[in-house]
Structure 1
Amino acid sequence: MTTPQQMQALLNGPAMLPPPGIKSNFTNPENSLAYYFLSIVLTVTISTLVLFTRMYTKIFILRKVGWEDYTSFLGYLLWIGYCVSTSLLVSHGGGVHQWNVQLKDLISILYLTYVSSVMYYFAVFSIKLSILLLYMKAFASAQFRDSIFWGIHAVIWINFAFYFALLFAETFLCKPREKYWNVFITTGYCLNRNAANIAAGCVNSISDFVIVLLPQKVIWKLQMPLKRKLGVSAIFLTGFFVCVTSVLRLYYTVRLAQTGDVTYHVVRMGFWTYAELSMGIVCGCLPVLPKFFQSMAQKMSITAGFAFASRKLLGESKSRRRSTKWSPDLAVIRGEEAPQTAQAKIRPNYITLEEYEIQNTGCREGV
């Protein structure tokens, strides 16, 4: 039986034996804190700005909020929850080689890894569901129930089944469940966590590629100018950045399995998880952003019209008394001429998606 003194010595000792020739350093170990804080600040800032621009556009400009918006916001909240749990993980020694981490901190790190995994599965499914619901509104038609309609439904339900299975497996991976993080529990069992994580990463990456490529066939069948098709296609192909991040996340999952250095590689895996989730949110918001910029352009053109009218009115009042009849030049105040002229100079720089209902901008060929 282990005495209290021996238990305390174990808890204060290294969580992993160091490689030959290296001594454990609990005081000032090499860490990844600088990279961690840079990655989390960048990804959270960008995803927050883009998401709230989307919500502002849908609520105040388009005044149409759908399920794709609710699921996107839910995914964002879960993503923030993931960031909080991983930040706590880092505060206990995450990002440090495991031989430079005390065993008592490893228990906390493993527990927070478990919590982060659950948060990740909820977040990534919500974000993917948001994008697929956007596809449903933009490309599919419940009236025709064509191949894209059934394809989107199939991908939604396959992803639901996949992530539900992952959550179930993560919850019951160890029996008792505390064995996942409590290294002192000797009874019970755990399934092969590394194999499960690698398999999950592979399917997750394949799912990303499928979602990115899913709407491309429909886009290229739309009856619209080639330049517009290229622009719309490019917006949805930005999802390839998500695919790249999920593949890199898979790489560090494999590295974690090969080395067993959990505390070090789990944070590097987290870097790419931040990028994957934040880019997923951004990609789901991109089709809405042109409407925001168009609205801002309209407001700027109307403001410019007021300024022009004011200058003209002031100039003419100095040279002669004005008649009571309104000058046609001042029609810009009513937004009848000048705003359209100003918009004509600005709008071509944007891909106009009518609240991303692409079927309204032109019929598909052969339909």
Structure 2
Amino acid sequence: MSSSSFPGWDSMSSAEQADILASPALAAPNGTVSNLINPPNRNDIGIPVMATFFALVIITGLLRLYSRVFVVRNMKLEDYLGFTAYCWDVFAMVNGIYSTGALDLRHAHADDLVQWIWIYRLIYAVVMLFAKAAILLEWRHLFVPTRTRNWFFWATTAMIVVNTVAYGVAIIMTCRRCNPPKKIWQPWVDGTCADLYSQKSTDIATSYINLVMDIVILLLPQPVIWKLKLTKQRRIGVSLVFSLGVFVLVCAIGRIHSNTVMDYIANSTRGGAINMIWAYGEATFVMVVFASPGIPRAFTKQAWVVSLVSTFRSWTRLGDSTKGNSNGSVWARKTPPSWSIGGSNGKRRKPTQSDLDLMETRDAENLESGYNNYPSSVSELAKLPGDGTWNTAIIEMEESARFNASSARGLGQHGP
């Protein structure tokens, strides 16, 4: 434990305390002079980076929220956990952080920076705790059939426990770093703090534990994806969607490097700010990983999206359709079964927006009533017969998978 940085602070006069608060938070090394008027910073890099992170979190989070509230109209435990993390992450980004060394800051200003770094350490742990638990729960719902206890179920359960314990301990250790906690940003307050060398060792160790968990979470769904009964191209596509966690790994490695090279004794404010930039990035991409499976569902009720997808598929299959059909009917030969409807005259036709809305309404009613005849996971969905053009949208949520399955069963029987 370290003693108070300013012994006898409470007995000092107001003028003496004011002089200390106006002085540099860190003595300048030999040959340098503190710049307290216009201190150098890295806002030229920090502001664009933070703006990019903020935009990613806001856009993906709102799309996910829209799909769950207005399209699927069904919220699960992982949604509540994920959006709790989302709110904390947005709060942290709105407040922001900057990178200026303590030698160029007055004590009165450095206090705010150090306090925010400490607060964000807590927010970071809370965001990781809730967001990673939400991701694991959602992947379990996607890849594990109902009432099944396979290796993926137990692996995700174990990771949820490890994640909860790891970040729970991190929160407790952060809160107990100093007694009282405000001594962290007000070193003149009487109290005790953990030795900074042991603090650095703890930070590095927890960073490596965090990296290992990120690697495991990234690799978990890959064996299941590559066993699905899909074409190789589709397996690659689905695998890439569930590989967005690579960006999380990059930021986690950046945090490890930052913790390793940071000078905890001489000037931890600048290094701490850089470390928090890596943490912002990691939290951002964790939230993107959480939001991405539900994003396609946000567009399923949009007529322009349906029209665009239909047109694109018709164009890409025009050559094959013309060769295989003497009457030149592209739609009749190559349109996936789930995109055609039997008309009153016995001929198939392209579904109208009313048809699509009806299917959406039927699906919502089935979800609300707990209808269980549809596949309960993408593992079961991938086993359905047919070409699977619409059925293999595995990156959507479980409810989206149920909607696709119902479309294939209810409409696919009219196919060629």
TM-score normalized with structure 2 length: 0.70
Aligned with 2:295: secondary structure?
A: helix
Cα distance per residue 1:249-269 (max 9 Å; x no partner): 222122224664222122212
**Match for residue 314 of structure 1?**
none
Q: How far 1:210 moved relative to its partner? A: 0.9
Instruction: For 1:349 and 1:247, locate their aligned partners in 2 and report how far apart those are by CA, in whole Å.
Output: 38
Contact map agreement 1:139 1:359 (CA 8 A) in 2: no
Aligned with 1:30: secondary structure?
A: coil
Greater Cα offset, 1-10 or 236-245:
1-10
**Match for residue 16 of structure 2?**
6
Instruction: For 1:80 and 1:68, locate their aligned partners in 2 and report how far apart those are by CA, in whole Å.
Output: 18
Aligned with 1:8: secondary structure?
A: helix
Q: How does 1:112-123 map to 2 (within 5 A)?
A: 112-123=116-127
1:34 to 24, 30, 44: 44
> Which residue type is aligned with residue 232 of structure 1?
V
Does residue 356 (structure 1) correspond to residue 365 (structure 2)? The answer is no
Contact map agreement 1:290 1:350 (CA 8 A) in 2: no
**Match for residue 176 of structure 1?**
180
Contact map agreement 1:26 1:100 (CA 8 A) in 2: yes
Aligned with 1:237: secondary structure?
A: coil
Q: How far 1:3 moved relative to its partner? A: 4.3
Q: How far 1:23 moved relative to its partner? A: 0.4
Aligned with 1:209: secondary structure?
A: helix
**Match for residue 247 of structure 1?**
253
Instruction: For 1:353 and 1:141, locate their aligned partners in 2 and report how far apart those are by CA, in whole Å.
Output: 14
Cα distance per residue 1:54-112 (max 9 Å; x no partner): 12122222333222222221111010222244x3xx4xxx4112110111222222222
**Match for residue 79 of structure 1?**
89
Instruction: For 1:139 and 1:337, locate their aligned partners in 2 and report how far apart those are by CA, in whole Å.
Output: 30
Q: How far 1:186 moved relative to its partner? A: 4.8
**Match for residue 161 of structure 1?**
165
Q: Structure 1 residues 173, 66: CA separation in 2 closer, same or farther (over 3 Å shift)?
A: same
1:149 to 132, 153, 169: 153
Does residue 291 (structure 1) correspond to residue 297 (structure 2)? The answer is yes
Cα distance per residue 1:163-214 (max 9 Å; x no partner): 1111111111222323222211354342432222222211111111111111
Hey, which of these two has a bigger chunk of helix by percent?
1
Aligned with 1:15: secondary structure?
A: coil
> Which residue type is aligned with residue 352 of structure 1?
A
Give % identity: 23
1:206 to 205, 212, 234: 212
**Match for residue 67 of structure 1?**
77
**Match for residue 365 of structure 2?**
none
> Which residue type is aligned with residue 146 of structure 1?
N
Q: Structure 1 residues 250, 11: CA separation in 2 closer, same or farther (over 3 Å shift)?
A: same
Q: Structure 1 residues 333, 28: CA separation in 2 closer, same or farther (over 3 Å shift)?
A: same
Contact map agreement 1:212 1:239 (CA 8 A) in 2: yes
Q: Structure 1 residues 173, 74: CA separation in 2 closer, same or farther (over 3 Å shift)?
A: same
Instruction: For 1:141 and 1:333, locate their aligned partners in 2 and report how far apart those are by CA, in whole Å.
Output: 31
Instruction: For 1:225 and 1:356, locate their aligned partners in 2 and report how far apart those are by CA, in whole Å.
Output: 20
Instruction: For 2:121 and 2:221, locate their aligned partners in 1 and report how far apart those are by CA, in whole Å.
Output: 29
Cα distance per residue 1:313-356 (max 9 Å; x no partner): xxxxxxxxxxxxx99999668469999xxxxxxx9799712743
**Match for residue 309 of structure 1?**
none
Contact map agreement 1:209 1:243 (CA 8 A) in 2: yes
Aligned with 2:41: secondary structure?
A: coil
Aligned with 2:34: secondary structure?
A: coil
Identify unmatched segments of 5+ residues in structure 2: 1-7, 312-343, 358-387, 406-416
Q: Structure 1 residues 126, 260: CA separation in 2 closer, same or farther (over 3 Å shift)?
A: farther
2:33 to 17, 23, 41: 23
Cα distance per residue 1:127-149 (max 9 Å; x no partner): 11111111111112452201110
Does residue 133 (structure 1) correspond to residue 137 (structure 2)? The answer is yes
**Match for residue 101 of structure 1?**
105
Contact map agreement 1:132 1:152 (CA 8 A) in 2: yes
**Match for residue 317 of structure 1?**
none
Instruction: For 1:8 and 1:56, locate their aligned partners in 2 and report how far apart those are by CA, in whole Å.
Output: 52
Instruction: For 1:100 and 1:354, locate their aligned partners in 2 and report how far apart those are by CA, in whole Å.
Output: 49
**Match for residue 265 of structure 1?**
271
Instruction: For 2:56 and 2:392, locate their aligned partners in 1 and report how far apart those are by CA, in whole Å.
Output: 21
Contact map agreement 1:288 1:353 (CA 8 A) in 2: no
Greater Cα offset, 149-158 or 130-139:
130-139
Instruction: For 1:333 and 1:4, locate their aligned partners in 2 and report how far apart those are by CA, in whole Å.
Output: 79
Contact map agreement 2:78 2:137 (CA 8 A) in 1: yes
Does residue 49 (structure 1) correspond to residue 59 (structure 2)? The answer is yes
Contact map agreement 2:117 2:273 (CA 8 A) in 1: no
Identify unmatched segments of 5+ residues in structure 1: 306-325, 340-346, 363-367
Q: CA RMSD in A?
A: 3.4
Q: Structure 1 residues 209, 333: CA separation in 2 closer, same or farther (over 3 Å shift)?
A: closer
> Which residue type is aligned with residue 45 of structure 1?
A
Aligned length: 329
TM-score normalized with structure 1 length: 0.79
